[in-house]
Amino acid sequence: MAKAKPQPRAASRAALSSSYAETQGPGGETHQTAGATGAILTTAQGIPVADDQNSLRAGARGPALLEDFHLREKLFHFDHERIPERVVHARGYGAHGFFELTDSLSDVTRADVFHREGERTPAFVRFSTVAGSKGSADLARDVRGFAVKIYTKEGNWDLVGNNIPVFFIQDAIKFPDLIHSVKPEPDRGFPQAASAHTNFWDFISLTPESMHMIMWVMSDRAIPRSLRFMEGFGVHTFRFLDKKDRSTFVKFHWKPKLGLQSVVWNEAVKINGADPDFHRRDLWDAISTGNFPEWELGVQVFDQKFADRFVFDVLDPTKLIPEEELPVRIVGRLVLNRLVDNFFAETEQVAFCTQNVPPGIDFSNDPLLQGRNFSYLDTQIKRLGGPNFTHIPINAPKCPFAHFQQDGHMAMRNPVGRVNYEPNSWGQDGGPREHPVGTSSFAEDTGPKQRLRPDSFADHYSQARQFFISQTAGEQKHIADALVFELSKVERPDVRARVVSHLLNIDDGLAGAVCDGLGIEPPEPAKAARPTNRKLQPSDALSILKRPPGAFTGRKLGILLTDGADIALYDALVSATKRAGGAVEVIAPKISGAKLIDGTIVPAQQKIDGGPSVLYDAVVLLFSPEGADALKTDKAAQDFLSDAFAHCKFIGYTGPAAVLFDVTGLGDKFDDGCIELKSKRDAGAFLNTCRALRFWDREPGTKAKDAAAPPKKAKPKK
């Protein structure tokens, strides 16, 4: 037997003194590993590792040895790096922050988090899409999850909501069917992160309770410009309980301080191609540069008398309470000011459960909420390996806690001492005891056990109509266009017709526009359990464009810059954008940047073919004559301008850039959204104009004269 070649002995921790230590492989090769100036590589058990480059073998070309515990541990952990992704909301992004109370609610709830104005409570927020997998793109047309974990002094409060205040279904028993229908079709495994396919619309066409939610999902709410520019809602009706367990109903709202903003569909498609991580990159950049996103927490608080006289059932999750009928009271703010240290440990492993509420917050009998309270705990046990997922730091409460739960998979802590049960007779050594300050539930009358929907849940079209008529003409057009696009992907004509039959109960003009877009004859209206209430008034709070932010704060200006451009104008645009609270990104023919007229070299953040205009809220073409001549035949530059114009963005340009308008066919289409910048004095006025965010008059169907002429009404066949 050949004598084994001696292996170098690993140095002790104290003896490692050089920057690198050398180890020799079995073939004589030398590897460098971090020495004393860095951390010592160890196994998960803390045992120092001398060679991380070679597995232990019986001879240089012999088999690997079972005793190589480092190899086995390393491969074992790698094999288990991925946990099952969430069935829904798999594509998510999170950040830390705090909730600060600004208006006490001690008169209606005993929840401690709502008692002391000015007090800050740690929070973690995870935003997400619903239908796509972890690898899907950010700008899919979809509901956005808006889940907030607030680490209160009375335990974790998980407000697990969405960016839309209503939902598709009224009862949780239908949730598996809804998600199965919208997920990739099981035989072919596609489409990914899209509702534009037959199964989804087949389910919707047979589920009229979904029509209110469909209006929202087909609206611009489903393609937000940024996670920072969207609302959040608790969706359900909850209860507040005061110190005497008296109940008040409550609905929760998160309102972005930067205002609402969405993109258009063509823009969303192109953003997904240019930067599928657009939303998460935007949130990362904002927090890392100190522009902390902020939302106000608002509540709609009401009593049983209001609930009794409200035209819809407050327990129905497909309904909302218009703000004009019940104003939202602002009581706090949520600020995200810290990025995660590790995406997996925090964003991926965070576990939200709707049943996590502190004393003073209680549940209503909303059947969807009741089902969620059961489902979420079961889901976390499956995803995170067992009942001890609360031991993971991101899920652990930050207040004192004590219980008799023990053992189980991955237990990090267990009861100390002899006693692990309650009640017990061990006095002070007997561990924790229940206390009257704990959670309690509001007692309600119950009826016989049966499977049914209350008659008060039967109106499926009235609020869908109210949402649609609350939109501007342009927003209504976007809803119709979205329905045409989605239904054009549906293979079965009967499913398309069945969807339109529901639209006829919402708005004739909408149904007519969809029929025209699909090239079909209007069907008979769907039979309605309750006739549509056409007397409901529009609610401006349901529209994005009726409540514009009126500021460029938090937005991004893209400057397409060429060699020889005006340095004074460039500096003025940068200064004006910063004063407006926005950011500037430079796009140039080369990533090295542009050399301006005075010789200054301005680095570029994007090369022209990698920085399309869809990534920006407004754009400037800052060209020299030579630069314009070089770019006029550049397809990426042409697309940059064409897309910005088509997406109704404000476009600033210098005189030489006019040639790009000509070659793109826009030379005779200058409008008030195209602004020539002749000198640095024009920069401030341009940024002031950009506060409107879009020049919607450019889009057909949005001008006043177009809005006055409603879409052709559908005349259903007899």
Q: Could you report the per-residue pLDDT of 445-493, keeping only the tens digit for each?
A: 777 766 778 999 999 999 999 999 999 999 999 999 999 999 999 999 9
For the record, the structure tokens of 238 come out as 């909850």
| Residue environment code for 614-625, b if the CB has 16+ CB neighbours within 10 A, otherwise e | bbbbbbbbbbbe
E runs forming strands in 540-597: 556-561, 583-588, 594-595
pLDDT higher than threshold 50 for residue 344: yes
- Helix (H) or strand (E) run with residue 254 in it: strand 247-256
Of 308, 373, 319, nearest to 169 (Cα)? 319
pLDDT at 268 over 60: yes
198, two tokens: 């037959």
Q: In angstroms, rounded to a whole number, what is the distance separating the alpha carbons of residues 368 and 162?
A: 14
Residue 150 tokens read as 């607030």
Tell me the residue type at 228: R
Res 718: pLDDT:
42
Percent of the chain with pLDDT over 70: 92
Q: How confident is the model at residue 1 (pLDDT cuts 50, 70, 90)?
A: very low
> Is the pTM above the cut of 0.85?
yes
Tell me the range of 34-48, 244-258, 383-397, 407-421 where mean pLDDT is highest: 244-258
For the chain, the structural domain boundaries read 11-52, 92-163+220-391, 556-692
304-308, 402-406, 428-432: which is most confident: 304-308
Q: The tokens of 472 are what? A: 């501007």
Place of tokens 């109370």: 101
CA distance readout (Å), 443 to 450, 633, 640: 20, 73, 61
Return the bridge partners of 61, or none.
none
Q: How confident is the model at residue 8 (pLDDT cuts 50, 70, 90)?
A: very low
- Per-residue pLDDT band for 714 (boundaries 50, 70, 90) equals low
pLDDT in the model for residue 713 = 63
Coil/strand/helix, residue 9: coil
Task: Pick the closest to residue 259 from 287, 240, 231 (CA basis).
Answer: 231
Two structure tokens written together for 484: 């045409």
Decide if domain 556-692 falls under CATH 3.40.50.720: no
Distance CA 687, CA 572 (A): 10
Cα-based angle 223, 506, 699 (whole degrees, multiple of 5): 45
Nearest to 237 by CA among 320, 315, 149: 315
| pLDDT score of 267 more than 60 | yes
| pLDDT at res. 53 | 84
Cα separation, 326 vs 349, whole angstroms: 37
**Running DSSP on this structure, what letter comes out for residue 703?**
S
Q: Which comes out higher in pLDDT, residue 222 or 21?
A: 222
Q: Say yes or no to pLDDT of 83 above 90.
A: no
Quick one: which of 627, 628, 672, 625 has its CA closest to 652?
672
**127, containing H or E segment:** strand 120-129
- pLDDT of 558 reads 98
Q: What is the CA radius of gyration of the chain?
A: 30
User: What pLDDT digit, counting tens, does each position of 635-663 carry?
Assistant: 999 999 999 999 999 999 999 999 999 99
The answer to whether residue 126 scores a pLDDT higher than 80 is yes
Model confidence at 9: pLDDT above 60: no
Instruction: Give the C-alpha distances (Å, rounded to integers) separating 641 from 574, 632, 645.
Output: 20, 11, 6
Per-residue pLDDT at 287 exceeds 90: yes
CB 628 within 8 A of CB 657: yes
Name the fold adopted by 92-163+220-391: Catalase HpII,  Chain A, domain 1 (2.40.180)
SS3 253: strand
Name 165's Cβ contacts closer than 8 Å, sequence gap at least 6.
231, 233, 235, 251, 253, 320
Residues marked active site are found at 89, 162
Query: What is the C-alpha to C-alpha distance for residues 669 and 667, in angstroms, rounded to an integer?
Result: 6
Does residue 426 register a pLDDT over 60? yes
Nearest to 270, CA basis, from 647, 635, 618, 605: 647
CA separation for the pair 193, 142 (Å, rounded): 8
Better-scored residue on pLDDT, 65 or 252: 252
Residue 146: what pLDDT?
98
